[in-house]
Every structure is written in C-alpha cells, then in structure tokens.
Amino acid sequence: MGLSVNGVDIDDHVIERELAHHQHADNPLKQSVHEVVLRTLLLQEADRLGLCMLGEDEDACIEALLASEVKVPQADDAACSRYYAANPQQFTNGELVEARHILFQVTPNAPLELLRETADAVLATLKAAPERFDELARQYSNCPSGAVGGSLGQLARGQCVPEFDAVVFRLEQGRLAERPVETRFGLHIVQVQRRVAGRLLPFEAVRERIADYLATAAWQRGVHQYLQLLVGRADVQGVTLEGAATPLVQ
C-alpha cells in the first residue's frame, strides 16, 4: 500500500497481522495502519535513544521509551479533593431511582422523524394529563415494560445506557423529562416516580482511587502529546495520521 515511516517501508503483511486485533473498530484497516505506524515510530525512537537492549521484545522497548520520555506529575490532595467535589455521583453508594418510560423504537418502518413527532405529541399529552402515563405506555411503548405501564422498577447507576442513566438520576421525583431521551434503542419518554438517596463515601475512602484515576488520565494525555511530537517530526508516507484514533493514546 506504499506505506513508509522515516524511509522504512512497511510490508503489507504487517498490516494484515495487525488487522486481526481491530476487527471491532469502526474502520479496522485504518485503525491497523495507524497502530503499525505509531508503533514503528516508537520503536525507531527507542532504538535511536539506545533504550532497546539486544534481544528485548518490542513491547519492552516501547515501555522503556515511554517511561523515559513521558513524565507526568502525581495528583496531590488538592487535585483529588477538587475532583471529589465536582463528581459526587461517582462516590455515592446505594442511590436508586424508580422510573418508568414509554419507548418509541426505531425500525425500518418507523423512521426517526416520524417517531419524534409521535413522541413529542404523547409527551405533550402527558404534561397536560400525567395520570395517563400507564394508559399511554400500554398503548404506545415498544418495550415489554409497556404491559405494566412502562415501569422499569428500581434502577442503580450504571444499570442503563449512559444517556438514559444521566437523565433519570438528574430528574426530580415525580417529574417527566422535558423532552424525549434518545438512545440506541429509540426515543424514551421518562418519568422518575421515586428516589432513594445514596450515601456519599468519605473523601479518605476514595482518595487513592481518585489519585490513580487522575494519574492514569495524565499519563494518557502525556503519551498522546509525545506521539504527536514524534509524528510531527517524522516522515510518514502513505497515510495521514490521526493520533487520537489509536489505542496507544486512549
């Protein structure tokens, strides 16, 4: 495919071997090419700096390079405390909501715009007459829960898809979401019927977890920046790199 990194040609067989590791990517070939190019750049730089010992495997060479060249500060108490204060939901145990919904499922025979119009109309009816939720769930919902008035029972954080989770844990008890919630399943009219408050874990109990998370995030940003530096000064032919698309910088 005419691919080279700093004058070194990359054989198509190398790409083919890498392809097996990225079958679930949105674009497996593109992902594989990027991964091979970035890995080649890292190995070339490790060799240039004398960090690759004779007989050492490639992963060890890359680890030695990143350990040498990517330096990130450790998260101090102030940074951990700020993260704790800004994200209390991540450190709350036992929080539950009792919710119900009406699902308008996207199908080939029910395009999104038509569903949106129907969902908006049903939501407007419910805002005027909330006592009709049970009736309208049985009539319209494409979820099995429609048979029980749309009830989903008690839900804990992380039990539903993220976009649904974000809405139900933000809604006040008894409130309908102002607009239908869009997820991969379709459009949902959502109401929280009851909330059970959780217990916020003390900072001391989660400080180490926060520090590990912040350190990992800082390391990933550092690796990303280092790869961008290598790419910026490299002669790569045959592909335009998009560094953020590779597992090496996620």
Question: Other CB atoms closer than 10 Å to residue 14's CB: what's the count?
Answer: 16
pLDDT of 89-137, one tens digit each? 889 888 899 999 999 998 877 778 888 999 999 999 999 999 999 999 9
pLDDT computed for residue 86 by the predictor: 96
Residue for token digits 């070339």? 44
Phi-psi region of 143 (alpha: psi -120 to 50; beta: other; left: phi over 0): beta
pLDDT computed for residue 240 by the predictor: 79
Distance CA(69)–CA(234), nearest Å, equals 17
Please determine, for residue 235, whether its predicted confidence score (pLDDT) is greater than 80.
Answer: yes
Domains of the chain: 4-75+206-237 (no CATH), 93-200 (3.10.50.40)
First-to-last alpha carbon distance for the chain, in angstroms, is 26
CB 143 within 8 A of CB 150: yes
Confidence of residue 55 (pLDDT cuts 50, 70, 90): low
Q: Which residues, at least 6 apart from 62, have a Cβ–Cβ distance to it below 8 Å?
A: 39, 42, 43, 46
Confidence of residue 249 (pLDDT cuts 50, 70, 90): very low
Confidence of residue 54 (pLDDT cuts 50, 70, 90): low
pLDDT computed for residue 245 by the predictor: 40
Confidence of residue 46 (pLDDT cuts 50, 70, 90): very high
Average pLDDT in the chain: 90
Q: Which two tokens stand for residue 115?
A: 């569903």
Please determine, for residue 246, whether its predicted confidence score (pLDDT) is greater than 90.
Answer: no
Confidence of residue 210 (pLDDT cuts 50, 70, 90): very high
Query: Which has the minimum average pLDDT: 132-136, 159-163, 230-234, 246-250?
Result: 246-250
**Strands annotated E in 20-132:** 92-93, 96-105
pLDDT computed for residue 212 by the predictor: 95
pLDDT computed for residue 52 by the predictor: 83
Confidence of residue 1 (pLDDT cuts 50, 70, 90): low
pLDDT computed for residue 250 by the predictor: 38
Query: Which has the minimum average pLDDT: 54-63, 149-158, 176-185, 234-243?
Result: 234-243
pLDDT of 128-187, one tens digit each? 999 999 999 999 999 999 999 999 999 998 899 999 999 999 999 999 999 999 999 999
